[in-house]
Chain A
């Protein structure tokens, strides 16, 4: 067999594999959207769930998912940013940083159900936070922190060493160089990483089942005092998210339209995650353009 032919076969095989991946993705998306989108309505997206009767919605779950996402991001982003800046801009390569990196790697490969059980034992039981948004947000932080740290560190890595030297040569301190030169330049790429990890957090179920809980008490959307038990902002209330809702309906849902609700919720989840992904690309590109060619 000559090399030309070999090359053709290799290219054919690679195209085949790539095509298969795309096909699987399209089939999954198509199935979920086809069975889910017909269930969607304003009522479905806003009404509270019903345990036994037909016609419940996912309004509370949807709100919970976003609220939990924002809280988890608010906790994990500053920590991840600090860790990434330390690791990439300050730390020298020695056994301390090697240990930290290994720890991050192990943390990122922990199964999310293990993170969830740890969250249950530590936040829910030991710290007596109960099944609450706060417990869930902490568990998600554990789940999200290593990935986010990694992605921010990668963003910092894309900024040339010369930029740092340029800052230092002007008499800027290392901190000033990082905050005034490197971070602004890395913002588009950091933001892309944040939005992508938001998608992952949004769809997470296993880590939340034992921490944020599986119940979604009715909320009074007119009450925004975080200290009231029925306020949507109360971080101490149990909060079933959309992903947990899907899991729960499928395992123990007893409402007559469980199948329809599950399909509808899956569609909402998928659409939200797709939106996150496209936003990430769009915002990243726009910001990069603004910074580079203005």
Chain B
């Protein structure tokens, strides 16, 4: 019976299966159309057409070199000097992948947290406040308030509220990563891009980080690249599976993990490769 079942499944397997999110209350805030990324002559991303619903968490999964990080980094144009990105990235109806766009302004709307925590060699307070000061917020009380709310949202406030003037480099890995999240949300973005944010953290910090992300989605749209499939399953509403520079499957996370429509996805999520 099992064998029989497998055969029928194999015959119905598709090459590609994409279901864009379409839930009421979660309008599409960001989408890409016909996105291609080239490193020099080498094409790293052949096409990525994905839509992201606001205030949801979308996980990008796939084996190493599948193009998921490349895709993520294209979304706030962090690849500008490294790669050539063609196609459209629509953010609230505007194509942000065109020359006339103010990239710096755009990156404040689409923030990013990286794989390795990268706090600046400044005090905890200044890590958060200094980008705001650069943009003209000099009022001490306003800054204090942003620092406090950002740290609270990143669930770091209680641990550091007495040490705001200490160097951020003394924080532990998990705390430093929270600080980076606080720093990113302090400039009031809509969207948070996270590139394997937990891969350098221990399991306890990882699970705390996941709780934080679940809280944060009330305020932000979150797109997270992860190697950890349990993590994707635990926190995301939608999951995109990347392989060899293509999006092979995009659907609700429960569909991807319980009833994948593409053979490669099925192999990947069941741990047969990758």
Please give the residue numbers on chain A whose beta carbons come within 8 Å of chain B beta carbons, in ascending order: 92, 160, 162-163, 165-173, 176, 180-181, 184-185, 291-294
Contact = CB atoms under 8 A, between A and B. Distances in A.
B131 A171 contact: yes
A180 B134 contact: yes
Per DSSP, are chain A's interface residues mostly helix, strand or loop, or mixed?
Answer: helix
Interface string B226-261: 000000000000000000000000000000000000
B169 A170 contact: no
Interface in B160-189: 165-167, 169-170, 180, 183-184, 187
A167 B78 CA distance: 11
A294 B125 CA distance: 13
Interface centre among A169, A171, A172 (most CB of B within 10 A): A169
A291 B108 contact: no
Nearest to B111: A169
Given A163-B120, A180-B130, A292 B114 contact: no
A217 to B, nearest CB: 48
A170 B170 contact: no
A292 B107 CA distance: 28
B78 A168 contact: yes
A184 B122 CA distance: 9
Given A162-B114, A169-B184, A176-B134, A185 B170 contact: no
A99 B106 CA distance: 36
Interface of B: 76, 78, 81, 104-108, 111-114, 116, 118-123, 130-131, 134-135, 165-167, 169-170, 180, 183-184, 187
B120 A185 contact: yes
B170 A293 contact: yes
Contacts of B165: 294
B242 to A, nearest CB: 21
Given A170-B184, A181-B120, A184-B121, A294 B134 contact: no
Nearest to A174: B81
A169 B79 CA distance: 11
B123 A294 contact: yes
B119 to A, nearest CB: 8
A166 B120 contact: yes
A2 B134 CA distance: 65
B183 A292 contact: no
Given A291-B167, A292-B167, A294-B170, A169 B121 contact: no
A173 B131 CA distance: 11
Contacts of B112: 165, 169
A172 B111 CA distance: 11
Interface centre among B120, B122, B183 (most CB of A within 10 A): B120
B104 A291 contact: no
B137 to A, nearest CB: 13
B120 A171 contact: no
Nearest to B120: A181
A184 B81 CA distance: 24
B114 A171 contact: no
Nearest to B115: A162
A165 B169 contact: no
10 contacts: A160-B118, A166-B120, A169-B112, A169-B114, A171-B104, A171-B105, A172-B104, A172-B134, A173-B104, A180-B130
A162 B196 CA distance: 14
Contacts of A165: 78, 112, 114, 118
A170 B131 CA distance: 7
A292 B123 CA distance: 9
A172 B116 contact: no
A160 B113 CA distance: 15
A90 to B, nearest CB: 10
Contacts of B111: 169-170
